[in-house]
Amino acid sequence: MELAAPPRKASGGDDASPWLARHPIPWRPARFPAHADRWALDDWCPPETVEAVAALHRQGRYDVVIASYTWMSAVLEAVPGAFRVLDTHDLIGGRAAEAARLGLAPSWFWTGLAEEAAGLARAELVLGIQPEESEVLRRRGARAVLTVGHATGPGAVPPRARGPATWDFGLLASANVWNLHGVAALDRALAPHPGIPWLLAGEAGVAGGFRSAGMAIGPVAEAGAFYRLVDCVVNPVEGGTGLKIKTVEALGLGHPVIGTRHAFAGLGARHPAQQAGDAAAAAGWMAEYRASPALRTELLAASRELAGRWRASVEEGLDRLAALEADLRLRVGLLRAGRLDWRNGEAVLALHGGRLLADPLAIDGAGGRIALRVAAEGTASPPSLDVSAHAPSVDLAALLPALGLPGGVSGMLDAETALSARGRTLREMAAGLNGSLGLALADGRVDISLLDAVAGDLRRLLLPNAPRNGSEAVRCLALRLQARDGVASAQAMLLETDIASVLGSGSVDLGQERLDLRLLPRARLGGIGLAIPVVVDGALAQPRLRADPQGAASAGAAILKELSNRRNDPGGTLGQTLNQALGQILGEGDSEADCAAQLRIARGGREGPVPAPAAPENRQGGVGDLLRGLLRR
């Protein structure tokens, strides 16, 4: 997973992170609301933030994008093709009315119900932080809602395991309006009870000083410093939205907790001391707790039981998110992507138990129908991905420019693949890749400038005086790679144009990112076939090109023998065409049989188009015989 977030302050120590990458992006929310009585939905998600996310998506094409908070939902419109998830954390619609109920001015971010609904509509899946809010989100128009709560602490830790607590009661609170209101209400309620001291930590305080036996210690360096001082934690809030994190935190650390029904909203509390109507009622439970050992035991047990239930519900929500289940059938009449129109698309998607199956997944475009099958299993260890595809007639002249790739190639490409990979990263998947890839093309054309860009060194070596402009006919392109444990070996490798051909064998180690190829290019110069064996090896990023120390005939025989052995067919198709291919290499015979054989292998044994017969060469016997004699040495 990758994280896009505003730049953070430098950290002095090791900054371990679960993210594969972290992308700092601009975030400058509006200083003032767009409306007189509320923020507009996107006031805190400026256009430059949306564009930064869009740019990342164009580079990486993410499968799933999660926006945190509804006021950031605009970024979900910048990620076409991704599964869009909105993690709400809180309700933002109607917060002003909730604050007004307590006589408070709204704070943080608040907007109208209609604008919140517009934000929810941007996501295929909406996450609610607790069950009661999830139900509200459904009523407000979210298409699909899953509850994923805030995780509690590492387990139930007996609060007195480190000795007696200094304070019977305590509250750790920030200075938001809900906490300030609750703290003031609790102080008023405890004023008649000077025998109940309590500790207040954090940024919250009591305006004008305490009326009760409370004491404030201000912010603490770490929450544990507060929790080690107190026995029972109190949360007196009388309103608000979302999940009360300090309630969950105290439960997770094994403390007994007293609070209002707002403090326990969505947690499923059962003990009446955790369903107090207001701060005054919570103060009454504090007095009873202090006087009754039986209640202390009872509330401790109830709090730990609630902590266990909540922890289990959070784990269940995370498991359901990881193993999200869905069955979708999609039909697309017209999909316009860039400069290419795709039509008559159909997809059947099934997501069950962490396994995604897309079968069939097909669409018409670029000259023909493209059919795929995709299976991914995210719960496997390591995750797995299986992809098979067949596109029997891809119009390269239309497809490549539409994908933003260099043009200059025309012809109908027959492509098929069946690949499987395991791993947590692309590098791991490449290192364990298995399966096959086949490409076959007959009678195409390629711009000479593109040939120079792709294989300029090799072409200049063979044809130093070859033309630099125009195009060149491609009689055939045949390639079939068989991958096993990350090493892709060539079963067919031939490129033939009007003036040259290249026959090859070898392998590509995807795990080590290295090449080991043997090529036998042959240039037709008049009636002479000039063959210069070449080795291409080294790193994928910086391959080396050098002459093969073997002679042309020996190199050609070795290449064809290797191809034949890799197909477990030493006496089959390749064996039968060995002499024909060697004749082609040395300027003898007809190349059509070799093109046909290699194309058939590239197609996995299927028949298909083969090139038109080549024009006969005007051979010059004496010079040709001389060169053939030299090359045979």
Q: What is the pLDDT of residues 590-611, one digit of tens each?
A: 444 489 999 999 999 999 999 9
558 vs 519: CA distance, rounded Å: 11
Per-residue pLDDT for 231 more than 60?
Answer: yes
440 versus 613: the higher-pLDDT residue is 440
Higher pLDDT, 137 or 408: 137
Predicted local distance difference test score (pLDDT) of residue 357? 87
pLDDT number for residue 610? 93
Categorize the per-residue pLDDT at 628 as very low, low, confident or very high, splitting at 50, 70 and 90: very low
Query: Which is nearest to 503 in space by CA: 601, 633, 382?
Result: 601
Q: What is the model's pLDDT at position 88? A: 94
Alpha carbon distance 252, 277 (integer Å): 23
Beta strand 368-377 pairing with 83-87:
unpaired
In sign, the C-alpha dihedral spanning 16, 19, 21, 25 is negative
Identity of residue 371: A
What is the mean pLDDT of the segment spanning 31-56?
Answer: 93
Whether 550 shows a pLDDT value over 70: the answer reads no
Between strands 471-484 and 434-447, the pairing is: antiparallel
Tokens 């009315």 belong to which residue? Answer: 97
In this prediction, residue 381 has a pLDDT band, given cuts at 50, 70 and 90, of confident
Q: Is the Cβ–Cβ distance between 237 and 264 less than 8 Å?
A: no
Each residue's pLDDT tens digit, 245-284:
999 999 999 999 999 999 999 999 999 999 999 999 999 9
The residue that leads in pLDDT, 116 or 470, is 116
What domains are defined for the chain? Answer: 47-147 (3.40.50.2000), 167-303 (3.40.50.2000), 440-452+473-612 (no CATH)
HSE-up (13 A, CA, CB side) for residue 400: 14
- Minimum mean pLDDT among 241-255, 414-428, 612-626: which range? 612-626
pLDDT-derived band at 173, boundaries 50, 70, 90: very high
What pLDDT is recorded for position 307? 92
pLDDT at 98 exceeding the cut of 50: yes
- Average pLDDT across the chain, whole number: 83
Tell me the pLDDT band of 7, cut-offs 50, 70 and 90. confident
Q: Is 389 exposed, middle or buried (0-12, 13-18, 19+ CB in 10 A)?
A: middle
Q: What is the mean pLDDT of residues 359-365?
A: 87
Query: 553-567: string of b/e by CB count within 10 Å (b at 16+)?
Result: bebbbbbbebbbebb
